Structure 1
Amino acid sequence: MDAIFHRTSVRKFLDKPVEKEKIEKILRAAMAAPSAKNQQPWEFYVVTDKEKLVELSKVSPYSMSAKNGPLAFVPCYRTQCPAPAYTHIDLSASVENILLEADALELGAVWLGVCPEEDRIATVRKILDIPDTLVPFAIIPCGYPQKIRPQQDRFEEERMHYVIS
């Protein structure tokens, strides 16, 4: 899978909307992620409202790029699910799928953390009017990248440990 070795965090986007078909493909990829007890605790907000994107860009010192793209995904998890202790793991797998599918569709995206910071959760909840039954997990600005740069090679053989018989 080339996207794993091609994907980079993209924070600057062209002024070009993302096609609805691509948004749906990205969300299909997100919902194809594995989850504990197959609980699939996710729900997704797709934000294209420019004012809301500007508000989301102020959620943390690291979220400025939210205002630069044509859209942002805001994955949330349900508070009521069979394995609540694993929702962060489930959503992490889902977000990684979003990033990989965006890259495969020649889009760029970046994962901006919301969870577990309570102040960020409350701010995103207020901006998007998210009900108490859902917890905002991340903000993922997405769009056509202004430029493509190569991914750095992060492989370090000394971090591999074999346990063999």
Structure 2
Amino acid sequence: METMDAILTRRSIRKYSPNPVNRDVIENILKAGMNAPSAGDEQPWHFVIIDQHDLLEKISELHPYAKMLKSTPAAVLVCGDQHAPKYKDFWIQDCSAASQNMLLAAHDLGLGAVWIGVYPVEKMIQELRELLNIPAHITPFSMIAMGYPAEEKSGRMRYDPSRIHSNFW
């Protein structure tokens, strides 16, 4: 898939077939995430692959906007490392870039995926830390639910010239 085609046709998919997602496919998606830009090339991210149905169901009960996890074959929790020494306050942008790369890679590999926000909601951060045994210095940031799509959505153009300003506002 060409890059612009992937960007312009990717949509949030929340319905999945029950077919499992192979670990090799997930690993390719993680490679895309880890190749995202990061401040000072610090790469302050960690990833938790979640493919046990009982865990996905528990998370769907904890998170009000993650009901699709009940039927999701796999998800990846993107986390930021608070011990990143050089550019401490940029982990949010870094994990955002990794999350977007993973969404595009999933689309390119024929999967449907959706970004589920976690950070900055402290209650969700703490509940995920406890459920998944995440150390205190690691902050759950986003979750990417993924699977083979059981719904089709066509791309839609969101380009809006009224949002563009040249040189000054």
**TM-score, normalised via structure 1 length:** 0.96
Q: Which residue of 1 aligns with 2:97?
A: 93
Conserved? CA contact 2:82–2:139, under 8 Å: yes
CA displacement, residues 16-44 of structure 1 (integer Å, 9 cap, x when unaligned): 01112211110000000000111100010
- Structure 1 segments of 4+ aligned residues over 3 angstroms from their partners: none
Could you say what the CA RMSD is over the residues aligned between the two structures, in angstroms? 1.1
- The secondary structure found in structure 2 opposite 1:111 is strand
**What are the within-5 Å matches in structure 2 for residues 45-56 of structure 1?**
45-56=48-59
Residue segments in structure 1 that go unaligned for 5+ positions in a row: none
In 2, distance between residues paired with 1:115 and 1:93? 14
Partner of residue 10 from structure 2, selected from 7, 32, 41: 7
In 2, distance between residues paired with 1:41 and 1:141? 21
- The secondary structure found in structure 1 opposite 2:143 is strand
CA displacement, residues 20-73 of structure 1 (integer Å, 9 cap, x when unaligned): 221111000000000011110001000011110001112221111122210110
Asked if residue 63 in structure 1 is aligned to residue 90 in structure 2, the reply is: no
Asked if residue 26 in structure 1 is aligned to residue 26 in structure 2, the reply is: no
Conserved? CA contact 1:71–1:141, under 8 Å: yes
Shift of 1:138: 1.1
> Sequence identity, in percent?
38
- The secondary structure found in structure 2 opposite 1:94 is helix
Shift of 1:133: 2.3
Q: Which residue of 1 aligns with 2:151?
A: 147
Q: How many residues are treated as equivalent by the alignment?
A: 164
CA displacement, residues 64-98 of structure 1 (integer Å, 9 cap, x when unaligned): 11222101100111110121111100000000001
Residue segments in structure 2 that go unaligned for 5+ positions in a row: none
Partner of residue 75 from structure 1, selected from 75, 78, 99: 78
